[in-house]
Amino acid sequence: MKIVQLKIHRDKSVEYVSEKQNLKEPLVLIFGNRYMLQDKNIYDNVRAMFKDGHLVFGSTAGDITSESVDDESITITAIEFEKSNFCITTANVLNSEFKIDSLKTGKELIEQLPKEGLKYVFVVSDGSFVNGSQLALGMNSATENNILITGGLCGDAARFDTTLSSYNERPKEGEIVAVGLYGDTLEVSFATNGGWTPFGPERIVTKSDSNILYELDHKPALDLYKKYLGDKAKYLPSTALLYPLKVNASDKKKSIVRTILNINEDENSMILAGDILEGSQVQLMMTNVDSIVSAAEIGAVQALEPRKNKPELAILISCIGRKLVLDQRVEEEIEEVIEVIGKEATVCGFYSYGEIAPFDSEINCQLHNQTMAITLISE
């Protein structure tokens, strides 16, 4: 595996993070600032650098390398696989006759990939229109729950305005890109970890519709949420990123974290990043810098543990809510991962509006919030 990594800064200057070298038909991951990706020349500029590259774009809430976390740049990671190969498919959630159907789109996305020899799928998804829970269900149904899928929903800083992604064309809205990796020697491992602690009483979801939460214990959900936030409620919806919900399924076997993306004052409801089922138990959560950093370290240990070979590439997808808590110390969770996996691996990734990965010890993917999803790859 040969990897070249570079950055395009706001002033359009180019900085090589790694040694410059020629690559043959590389997979090129281009993550960065949404406004910079909207530049009409960005596609042509990157294409000029990698004439035979397969270009995958995604807007972020911060792009990640081993050197830094940047909000005002584009990070380009070009990978030439020497023993493996890949196939890329796309689907657009806005093309479904003006009806957004994330489940169907996810299924179609994965069904386009050749099945023979498929080892792993990396997904870069729209983060504005997609229901991540339904997307994950659709993708799982196309793989019969036997192919590892990780990735994330694109971001737009803390604006939650427009997210962009694409494959071999200018970045656009609604797009979902799947990169399928194939190869006998390919080794991929993963882990997710959060570091958030529940507090306050558990309540039952008594009315919801997909990812909209209306009632908890037969009371308006937004009213209850505001009550617990106190003075911080006046800063909604932005403060909601600091107080997500722990959601327990009715059987209590698994719990998942859900971020509140927006609120509807007229309906006294909250719009979440993924589905929330009636009958589920929910509880508020909070965290601090040390807990988040420790969780990243634990996740790295878990991702590294089952491996036979050292990772060559580490893809880190972390949640914007974690970034807001970490603030000026945001790079600490990246540093903890690098300390565990070693400095030999190239690190790339982004802060997202949702992380896609299985639960530990499972294979079917889920939508997570407020986690770091770590994927380690080698040939």
Q: How much of the chain is helix, strand and coil, in % rounded to 5?
A: 25, 40, 35
Peptide bond before residue 198 is cis, with ω within 30 degrees of 0: no
> What is this structure's pTM?
0.94
* pLDDT score at 329: 95
* pLDDT score at 251: 57
| Helix or strand (DSSP H, E) at 248 | strand 245-248
Going by C-alpha positions, the residue among 312, 379, 324 that lies closest to residue 351 is 324
Going by C-alpha positions, the residue among 151, 155, 174 that lies closest to residue 58 is 155
* pLDDT score at 160: 87
Q: How many C-beta neighbours within 10 Å does residue 203 have?
A: 19
Peptide bond before residue 171 is cis, with ω within 30 degrees of 0: no
* pLDDT score at 50: 97
* pLDDT score at 361: 78
Contact of 125 with 135, CB cutoff 8 Å: yes
- Where do the H-state alpha helices sit in the chain? 34-37, 42-49, 102-111, 132-143, 221-229, 289-304, 320-326, 331-341
Contact of 350 with 62, CB cutoff 8 Å: yes
Rounded to whole angstroms, the Cα distance separating 35 from 23 reads 28
* pLDDT score at 168: 98
* pLDDT score at 250: 59
Helix axes of 331-341 and 289-304: crossing angle, nearest 10 degrees: 30
Rounded to whole angstroms, the Cα distance separating 15 from 106 reads 36
For residue 37, is it left (φ>0), alpha (ψ between -120 and 50) or beta? Answer: alpha
Helix (H, G, I), strand (E, B) or coil at 7: strand
CA-based R_g, the chain, Å: 20
Contact of 21 with 2, CB cutoff 8 Å: yes
* pLDDT score at 119: 95
What does the block give as tokens for 69? 């976390």
End-to-end C-alpha distance for the chain, whole angstroms:
7
Contact of 71 with 157, CB cutoff 8 Å: yes
Contact of 191 with 360, CB cutoff 8 Å: yes
Interval 175-214: pLDDT, tens: 999 999 999 999 999 999 999 999 999 999 999 999 999 9
* pLDDT score at 273: 87
Interval 247-267: pLDDT, tens: 986 555 678 999 988 899 999
* Residue recorded with tokens 């395009």: 8
The residue ranges of every structural domain in the chain are 2-192+291-378, 197-286
Q: Distance between alpha carbon 341 and the CA centroid of its chain, in Å? A: 20
Low-confidence ranges of the chain (pLDDT < 50): none
Rounded to whole angstroms, the Cα distance separating 132 from 370 reads 14
Going by C-alpha positions, the residue among 268, 262, 280 that lies closest to residue 221 is 268
What does the block give as tokens for 38? 């909207």
Contact of 212 with 262, CB cutoff 8 Å: no
Q: Which CATH architecture has domain 197-286?
A: Beta Barrel (2.40)
